[in-house]
Amino acid sequence: MSRFYDSIEPNVINEEMLQKAVEEQGPQDDAGQLAKKEGINFKEVKSLQLDFRNILKIDNLWEFVNLTKLQLDNNIIEKIEALDSLVNLVWLDLSFNNIEFIEGLDTLVKLQDLSLYNNRISQIENLDTLQELQVFSIGNNNINNLDNMIYLRKFKNLRTLNLTGNPVCDNEVYSMFIAAYLPNLVYLDFRLVEENSREMALMKYQYAIEEMRHGETLLLAKQKEWEAREKEVEYHKSAYVEYLDGAYLFDSMYAEDPEASKLMYLPGVPALLETYKTKFVEICQTLFEYGLQQHKRREDEIAIFYECLNEALKDNQDEGTRIIHEFEKKNKGTIEEIQNLGDFQMAELRLVQYNDEITKLYETLMSLEMQLVDQLEEVIKDFERNILDLVSIFIENEQGLMAQCRDLENHHHEKLLETAINTLEKIVKSEFDEEMPEDVRMLFV
C-alpha cells in the first residue's frame, strides 16, 4: 500500500523541475519553441504532470493559480501540503504515495476528481469543503471502519467511489451499507449500484437512516439559520451598525467589569442599572435604525450613479455607432469607385475628398468622446458631493446619539457613586443592616 524509497535520492519540487515539466508537456511546435525562449508564465499553465519523479515533499506550486489538473502520482510523498493557492484545481491525483492523513485540501473547493489510491490512509476526513466532489478513489489503503463511510453522505455530487483493497471491503455488509447510506452514488468499486440492491439496502437500514435524516434535517435548519444570521450581520457591518439592535453593546461593556456584579448587592442599584440599560438600549436601537436608513440612502445614491453612468455610456455609444453606420452607408463602394476611375487626377481628387470625410468622422467621434468625458466628470463630481454629504450627516447624527449614551453613563456613574458613598457612611456608622457578601463588603473596607 505504499512506495519505498529506492536508490534514487528523494526530490523536492523546485524551479528547475517545474520549468522542465512545463516545457516537456507544452506544445513542441514553433509556438512552443517561442514560448520557451520568452519564458513560460506558470500562472497560465492549466495542467501539470509530476508523476514518477521520486518527490518526497510538495512545494513551490504557489504560482500555478490557474491550474485545473495536477498529477503527483507514483512518488514518495508523505504529506498533503502547499496546495492552498491552487484554488481552481478540478482534478488531483495523489495515488501511489506514502500519505497517512487526508489534510491540506480545504481551499480546493472546485475539486471534482480526487485520487488517493494506494497510500497509507486509515480515516476518510477533512474533506468538508470539497462539495463539488464527483469521483473519489481511495482504494488500497488501511480503511477498516464501515461507519466512516457515513462521512461521505455530505457530498451530494459524489457519483463514483472506489474503496477496493481496503480492509473495510471484507465486511459482509459492505456493499449493502454503502448503497443504503450513499443514495446518490452510481458506481462503487467500478460496478454500477443496482436499484434493486439499493432498495434492499434501504429496507435493511431503514430505521437508522430515518433517524440520521432527522438529525441531518435539524442540523441543516440550524446551518441555514446561522448562515442567515451571518448574512444579516455582514449587512449590518456594511451599514456600520452591527450588534446595535439589542443589548449586545451594553452587555459587552459590563461583561469585562467584575466590580459591576458586586455593586448589584447595594440597595437600589439593580433598579438603577435596569433603568440605565433600558434607556441605553433604546438609544442603540435608534442608532441602529437610523444607520440602516442612511445605508439605504447611500445604496440608492450608488445605484443612481451607476444608472446615470451606464445611460451616458450607452447614449454615447449609440450615437457613435449611428454616425459610423451613416459614414459606411454613404461611402459604400468609394474605394472601388476610386480604383475604377480612368482619370488619375479625378481619382486623386476623389481620394482627397474621401480622406477629408474620414478626418471629419474622426473629429466627430473625438468630439463625442470628449463630450462623454465631460458628462462623466460631472456625474462623478455630483456623486462624490452627494455621498460626502450623506456620510457627513450620518457621522454627525451618530456622534449625537453616542453623546447621549455617554451622558447616560455619566448620570448612572453619579447615581452609583452616590449610592456607594451612602452605603459606606452607613457601614462606618454600623447602621447598615442588610446582608452583603464578604467580597462586596471588602470594597468598603
Residue 2's pLDDT is what?
47
* pTM greater than 0.75 (yes/no): no
Cα separations in angstroms, 281 against 235, 278, 292: 20, 5, 16
**Below-70 pLDDT ranges, the chain:** 1-8, 27-39, 265, 334-335, 338-339, 341-343, 347, 427, 429, 431-445
160-162/135-137 β-pairing: parallel
Residue 45's pLDDT is what?
93
Residue 413's pLDDT is what?
85
Residue 24's pLDDT is what?
86
CA atoms within 13 A on the CB side of 214: 6
CA atoms within 13 A on the CB side of 420: 17
Place of cell 487526508: 102
Q: Which three cell numbers stand for residue 47?
A: 495542467
Angstrom distance (rounded) from CA 176 to CA 427: 78
Residue 331's pLDDT is what?
76
Contact (Cβ atoms closer than 8 angstroms) between residue 130 and residue 105: yes
Strand order in the sheet with 91-93: 47-49, 69-71, 91-93, 113-115, 135-137, 160-162, 187-188, 191-192
Task: Quote the DSSP letter at residue 141.
Answer: S
187-188/191-192 β-pairing: antiparallel
Residue 393's pLDDT is what?
93
Q: Which domains does the chain have, with CATH numbers?
A: 11-222 (3.80.10.10), 247-442 (1.20.1270)
Cα R_g (the chain), whole angstroms: 37
